[in-house]
Amino acid sequence: MDKIKYFTDNNNSVIFLEFIPIVFEDGDHLNIKYNDFKLNTITLSHELINVIHLNEYMLVELTESPSTGYCWFYTVSDSSIISLEEKKIYDFNKPNIIGGTVQIVWKFKCLNPGECKMHFSYYKSWKNESSPLDEHVYVIKIE
């Protein structure tokens, strides 16, 4: 799993030790970063056809419980139409909570006009993906 591991010095300046894109901070700062990440994007729905304009950004946001071994995996039917720009994991749990859930947010960019599907499946990586615990299919039409 990706995370951001960092420490701060006495001036509260962030010192990055290694890149692992997960966001851990106190509640207010985390909510600000979470909302900033979602600015100027369109959140996709798996219940309808999503019509998006070229060069816009789209979000898929799902809850995951990593301690269970279940993770979200996705495929895109046509990678020439959309591409993953960034994936972030937000942990809104209080410190030292074992077994809590995290918010996974994927940001995609619309590259070319056309239609494609993104299929998200929730399963344990060591088990057969043909029997996921949950699934979402997002139909996207880029104009």
Q: What is the pLDDT along the chain (143 residues), one digit of tens a residue?
A: 344 444 444 555 544 433 434 444 555 667 777 778 788 889 999 999 999 999 999 999 999 988 888 899 999 999 999 999 999 888 877 766 777 888 899 999 999 999 999 999 999 877 767 789 999 999 999 99
The CATH number of residue 112's host domain is 2.60.40.2020
Residue 2 confidence (pLDDT): 43
Domain count, the chain: 1
Dist CA 45 CA 137 (whole Å): 9
Could you tell me the pTM of the whole model?
Answer: 0.75
Distances (CA, A) of 109 to 30, 75, 76: 24, 15, 13
Give the DSSP H or E segment for 142. Answer: strand 134-142
pLDDT of the residue at 98: 74
- For residue 67, what are the domain limits? 5-142
* pLDDT for the residue numbered 53: 95
Nearest to 90 by CA among 23, 10, 1, 33: 23
